[in-house]
Amino acid sequence: MLGEDAVVTFEPAPVDHGIVFERTDLPAPVRIPALVTNVTPRARRTTLKSGEATIETVEHCMSALAGLRIDNLLIRIHGPELPCGDGSAWLFVEALLEAGIVEQDAARRIFRLEEPIVVEENGAMLAALPHPAAADGPSEEGMQVMFDLDYGPQSTRIKRQVHAFASGNGDYVHDIAKARTYSLREEAQSLWERGMCRHLTPREMLVIGEDGPIDNAYRYDNEPVRHKVLDMLGDLYLVGCEISARLVAHRSGHALNRRMGLRILEQMAARDRQLSLQNGRVMDVRAIQRLLPHRYPMLLIDRVVEIVEDRRAVGIKNVTINEPFFQGHYPRVPIMPGVLIVEAMAQLGGLLLSKKLEHTGKIAVLLSLDGVKLRRPVVPGDQLVIEAEEVRAKARTGHVRCRAFVESKLAAEAEIRFMLVDAEQE
């Protein structure tokens, strides 16, 4: 859409690398993982952002990777936007097929949806449904899409179109990859007047006038709805893996696809927390006390059930009526003070840095809090499941993002910064 020159290089990546973009034209190259959490809102396209660096129009490339089932790739781009080609995914599919795809010695990561999700906005709807369990064997696998493109009776140029696609047995290369993005004549004129798509003409993109495509022809009778499926596959691949579910869409676009991706991520995180709880202890209270200076009544982490190097940790706080703060907060309506929920998150954040701290003799002292939100009360009998993710860690400071859940419902969140100080100075 921007019309600026760009050079894109696809480079093989190891197992568990994921899809990562790298802007190489900046003074210092910036890598941006292809994740929906890095998407920033843009009209008519999907854009990744990290700091001030952006990569525009990634959806067609991501769709090609989803359709070809490519999991690990480093994409170096010298420029602000991926090439649009003819507005389809074929430009990327053709290059990737020519280079060849190598099978790696690891199982593909696939998330099987467990609970239905529905998102709606301005008359558009997108629903994700789990595959039904089969009575006599394993349930269905892969993504099945049913897209209903219906702009209503007032639309005379794009009639109602419905298309179904299944990743397990559908032919992405022939059925979806060549479907081009489209616009009505007046929409294309508006983009042109705003200085966008000036490098393209109706012969190179699908512009629909009163009598059909201008200076062009449809590749499929229902090319617009097929392109909608193409976009959805690319946008939802930004959850970081293939989704095994049934998708039903009505007029869904990039904004609704993004909301669905974020909701699916929430369900993935809830499943990961449940698996962590089932897998048992990583650190019991004695191990915790070797790394944290806190003691009764201020030690607020009972155990750590998962810790992945210094990137992520999951901890447990069991809240009982015997907590000393319930005597005064409040005698008749006992509620755990929000400041202590934040303290529990901060303690897990300190433990997340424990591998660094263990070898340096330092402890993490709270420096600042940002984005603190208390979402629901925590009462006796609740179990707080706390997540901490590293944002940045240096020799003297640490920055973590924390969330606390009760029964998979978000209770609190905060971004916490620490000063790492020598233990004897504490």
d(CA 301, CA 32): 33
Which residue, among 72, 54, 58, 69, has the nearest Cα to 17 in the 3D structure?
72
Which residue, among 237, 235, 246, 229, has the nearest Cα to 71 in the 3D structure?
237
Cα 83 from chain centroid (whole Å): 23
d(CA 33, CA 353): 23
Active-site residue set: 254, 329
d(CA 369, CA 135): 51
Longest dimension (CA), the chain: 80
Alpha-carbon torsion 13, 18, 23, 29, what sign?
negative
Beta strands 143-149 and 124-129, pairing class: unpaired
d(CA 285, CA 155): 65
Other C-beta atoms lying within 10 Å of the C-beta of residue 241: 16
For residue 415, what are the β-bridge partners?
A: 370, 401
CB burial readout 344-383, b (16+ within 10 A) else e: bbbbbbbbbbbebbeeeebbbeeeeeeebebeeebeeebe
